[in-house]
């Protein structure tokens, strides 16, 4: 697993989308915030969509799981980087927290697939991983919604 994390970190440091995202101006209080068109977030959506399609295609034992784990670790690192960038921008919404949670959950869900005791447990783990990857896409691509109490957008 440490090799996957090292590869993910190296890729993030060499990814121009990270620098682009970090260079965005701070959020304006009360303004709707949508990051869906920014290159880094487009990359997260693309990677999540590809990994979800792969997970959904598996029945029984996953094929090329080692390669998948590396790609999942890269995605997890990108989600954490996105969280940190949004935090540095001063966004008040939930998106930054959701991305952090997804980043932390991806390795847990991947490990659950890897350590599943039987086909039923593996099917459940794959289903949960698929759901998480889909969630990763939807939280980025959904338009910001106003907070029910304040009317201020939450993501």
146 forms beta bridges with 153
Extract the tokens encoding 51: 């990994």
pLDDT digits (tens, 9 = 90+) for 19-70: 556 555 555 555 556 899 999 999 999 999 999 999 999 977 788 999 999 9
Q: Which two tokens stand for residue 8?
A: 């993910």
Question: What percent of the chain has a predicted confidence (pLDDT) above 70?
Answer: 71
- CATH architecture of the domain formed by 2-12+38-141: Up-down Bundle (1.20)
Distance CA(106)–CA(77), nearest Å, equals 10
Residue 147: partners with Cβ closer than 8 Å, 6 or more residues away: 153, 154
Contacts of 83 (CB under 8 A, 6+ apart): 96, 97, 99, 100, 103
* HEC sequence for 47-106: HHHHHHHHHHHCCCCCCCHHHHHHHHHHHHHHHHHHHHHHHHHCCCCCHHHHHHHHHHHH
Would you kindly state where each structural domain of the chain is located, as residue ranges? 2-12+38-141
Task: Write the DSSP string, 9-57.
Answer: HHHHHH-HHHHHHHTSPPPPTT-----TTSHHHHHHHHHHHHHHHHHHH
- pLDDT tens for 60-90 read 778 899 999 999 999 999 999 999 999 998 8
Question: For the residues 116-133, what does the mean pLDDT come to?
Answer: 96
Q: What is the DSSP letter of 63?
A: S
The residue among 150, 147, 136 whose CA lies nearest residue 36 is 136
Please tell me the predicted confidence (pLDDT) of residue 76. 98
| 3 state DSSP class of 119 | helix
């Amino acid at each position: 697993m440490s090799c996957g994390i090292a590869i993910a970190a190296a890729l993030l440091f060499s990814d121009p989308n990270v620098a682009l995202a970090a260079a965005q101006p701070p959020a304006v209080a009360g303004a709707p915030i949508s990051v869906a068109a920014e290159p880094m977030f487009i990359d997260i959506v693309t990677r999540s969509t590809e990994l979800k399609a792969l997970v959904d295609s598996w029945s029984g034992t996953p094929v090329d799981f080692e390669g998948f784990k590396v790609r999942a670790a890269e995605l997890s690192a990108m989600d954490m980087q996105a969280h940190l960038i949004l935090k540095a921008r001063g966004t008040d919404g939930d998106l930054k927290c959701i991305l952090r949670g997804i980043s932390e959950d991806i390795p847990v869900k991947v490990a659950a697939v890897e350590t599943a005791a039987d086909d039923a447990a593996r099917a459940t783990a794959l289903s949960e991983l698929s759901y998480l990857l889909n969630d990763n896409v939807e939280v980025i691509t959904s338009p910001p919604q106003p907070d029910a109490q304040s009317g201020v957008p939450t993501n």
